[in-house]
Structure 1
Amino acid sequence: MTRVWDVPVHDSTRVRDVRVAAEAAAGHTGLGRDRAAAATLVATELATNLLKHGGGGRILIETVHTDLALPGTGRGPALQMAAIDHGPGIADLAAASRDGFSTTDSLGAGLGTCRRVCDHFEVHTVPGRGTVALARVHAARRDRAGHRSPDTSAPVRAGGVNIPLAAAEHSGDAWACVRSGDRVTLLLADGLGHGPAAAEASGAAVAELHRLAHLPPDELLGALHPALRRTRGAAVAVARLDLVDLHLDFAGIGNIGARLRSGDTWSPLLSHPGIVGAHRPARLPRSRLPWTPDSLLVMHSDGLPSRWVPPPHAPLTSWDPAVTAAVITRDSSSAARPARDDTTVAVLAPAPQDHRT
């Protein structure tokens, strides 16, 4: 089941809560002592940074699998930490990123040190809109010669954020992205309702994806139906990208939202009514669209408003997909529109040239 640590940070007393959550999440992810210490340091710095620059916000900590290298060459799971705020933005990001720059009551690491100890660290800040800082720490960072392992050998990368309703321990949503040969499949599942029973349903869908990633989306959904019968069922959408022929196949059952961007145009990808594991459609159509160098796929559960607006004038394909997901989630939420369900956004995007091996 998807475990997410969602920690609000609105005063200095919550910095300790973030540190404790990072320690627990590091154990859940399987980090060794040194990597767990690095993750805890970064989480503490992100929390104090939220207070100093963002006026408070939230930190999401979860285990993710983002490496789309061929099986046997990846590095396994990573601990992902996302600090999100609606604050004024960081006025001088370059200064905040320098070694020796310390936020009040922090460990004195500075964002520069955070960038160095993480496997991936990225900060997106816009004056008047807020900041998203994303960090990932893998269990094994370097090989025996002391070199970093490559991030991915695929020309695409995936990422996402998952926010459980009311900071619950488990989210009823789950997403995963798996590579099978020259095809990459992104799945997002929303178990009916929320809580542990919903998490069981979405987790079952993710488990089946790892076993059946070779199937096209419509056939995969058909195979998921009997597997989810023992659960309360879920809304599930599946997108499969062919890395050779450069086309995207999509099929969905239930209320999972999806949009594909090509150039300046966003095209909705429609799911069929039903519930995987309970009400299977007699016929399930599959959509096929071209995938271009500037394509971007966004999938989300119904915790996100269906009329969400893409970030304006943003080079989304240059961001880490999890940053894109976090910005979309942040900009679509407000105190006047409280969440009524778990919220998950998953993104598939081209990998920058310098990330490919």
Structure 2
Amino acid sequence: MPRVWDVPVHDPTRLRDTRLAVAEAADAAGLDETRTANAALVATELATNLLKHADGGRLLLDVVSPPEPVEGGDPTRFVQITALDHGPGIADVPAALDDGFTTARSLGAGLGTCRRVADTFALHSTPGRGTVALARIGPGARGAAPSACGVRAGGVNLPYGGAEYSGDAWTCVRSGDRVTLMLADGLGHGPLAAHASTAAVDALRRSAHLSPAEALGRLDADLRGTRGAAVAVAQVDTAAGTLRFAGLGNASAWVWEDGAWHCLLSHPGIVGVHRPRTLVDRQRRWRGDRVLLLHSDGLPGRRTPPSAPDLLSADPAVMAAVTLRDSGSAARPPRDDTSVAVLSPAPREGR
């Protein structure tokens, strides 16, 4: 079962916890000594910024696939480091990324260094609401390549109560022009819930060629004997310009189109426990400016995702992280495992 590291950062003693979490995540991703050191540098800088500028926050570390879906899967694994806070925010994000910028009488090299040593680095901040910083460090320094299928995927996963394993899981798979995003929420939380959601991920990776409804049938068979899971499956056919969706249970799905978020309805049921005899895909048009967002019930089901233009065009994991952060506060933490996954247009080459 994939591990997720949740490190609350509210005092300097947590910097040691941060370095230990990075070492474990880097080992799980198969990073060498140099790349592990880079990941530790980025995580330490982001944790230090949380203490200096936001009165604390949290770091989430996960081992993820590249944002660009690759047919047949990609063995390359990245350590994803996400820093979230409810602090004062940054008024000028581009300036904050320049070397020499500081508001704390320091050298002002932290965020610029993070951007240089990470494979991908992104920063989003809203004055008065907080900041999200996200970095991915893989086995070799390389920039994000343009996506051959025109879309990219990303997400964040927060275990309930600081547990080692989240009962939620998400993945994105590709078969030809079909790109499928799935989110699974294992019943309850803890290792047994994680076992169910991990089984769903493994099953979908063998079912990339199937439609969402067909994939749910395959998942239902593979999850028999587990606790079961609520599962949302959305598939974009980039050549045909279609979006197909099927879901069972209370995993939520939203699509951004024509300037508004629209909810995609799931069927009642639990994959691996109870599935309707008849399950059909819901279909709608897909254009290159649309965004798809899935989330588990750790987020309020009726809460509309954020719609700021800079978020809709941001790295999908950044949008997922902002959605997660804005669903609660430091005084009102989530009461269940919480995950958000996003599929969005890939940046055009040269932009």
TM-score, structure 2 normalization: 0.94
Give the stretch that moved more between structures: 313-322 or 182-191. 313-322
Q: Deviations over 1:268-299 (max 9, x none)?
A: 11111111111111111210011122211110
Q: Aligned match of 2:227 in 222, 225, 232?
A: 232
Q: Deviations over 1:299-334 (max 9, x none)?
A: 000000112233253333320001101111111112
Tell me how far apart the structure 2 counterparts of residues 211 and 105 of structure 1 sit (CA, whole Å): 53
Counterpart for residue 296 of structure 1: 291
1:221 aligns with 2:204: no
Say if 2:65 and 2:74, in contact at 8 Å, map to a contact too: no
Say if 1:57 and 1:85, in contact at 8 Å, map to a contact too: yes
Q: Percent identity?
A: 60
Tell me the C-alpha RMSD between the 2 structures: 2.2
Counterparts of 1:230-309 in structure 2, within 5 Å, are 230-309=225-304
Change in 2 beyond 3 A, CA 1:355/1:62: farther
TM-score, structure 1 normalization: 0.92
Say if 2:86 and 2:130, in contact at 8 Å, map to a contact too: yes
Change in 2 beyond 3 A, CA 1:137/1:286: same
Give the stretch that moved more between structures: 127-136 or 313-322. 313-322
Counterparts of 1:202-217 in structure 2, within 5 Å, are 202-217=197-212
Query: Secondary structure in 2 aligned to 1:292?
Result: coil
Change in 2 beyond 3 A, CA 1:76/1:229: same
Change in 2 beyond 3 A, CA 1:292/1:37: same
Say if 2:251 and 2:297, in contact at 8 Å, map to a contact too: yes
Instruction: Tell me by how many angstroms 1:94 deviates.
Output: 4.0
Say if 1:175 and 1:346, in contact at 8 Å, map to a contact too: yes
Say if 1:260 and 1:266, in contact at 8 Å, map to a contact too: yes
In structure 1, list runs of 5 or more residues that go unmatched: 143-147
Change in 2 beyond 3 A, CA 1:28/1:101: farther
Tell me how far apart the structure 1 counterparts of residues 74 and 47 of structure 2 sit (CA, whole Å): 30
Say if 1:176 and 1:187, in contact at 8 Å, map to a contact too: yes
Deviating above 4 A after TM superposition, structure 1's stretches of 4 or more consecutive aligned residues are: 72-75, 100-109
Say if 1:190 and 1:234, in contact at 8 Å, map to a contact too: yes
Give the stretch that moved more between structures: 227-236 or 305-314. 305-314
Counterparts of 1:141-180 in structure 2, within 5 Å, are 141-142=141-142, 148=143, 150-180=145-175
Query: Secondary structure in 2 aligned to 1:280?
Result: coil
Change in 2 beyond 3 A, CA 1:37/1:72: farther
Letter in 2 for 1:160: G
Q: How many residues are paired up? A: 351
Say if 2:72 and 2:175, in contact at 8 Å, map to a contact too: no
In structure 2, list runs of 5 or more residues that go unmatched: none
Tell me how far apart the structure 2 counterparts of residues 93 and 22 of structure 1 sit (CA, whole Å): 26
Counterpart for residue 5 of structure 2: 5
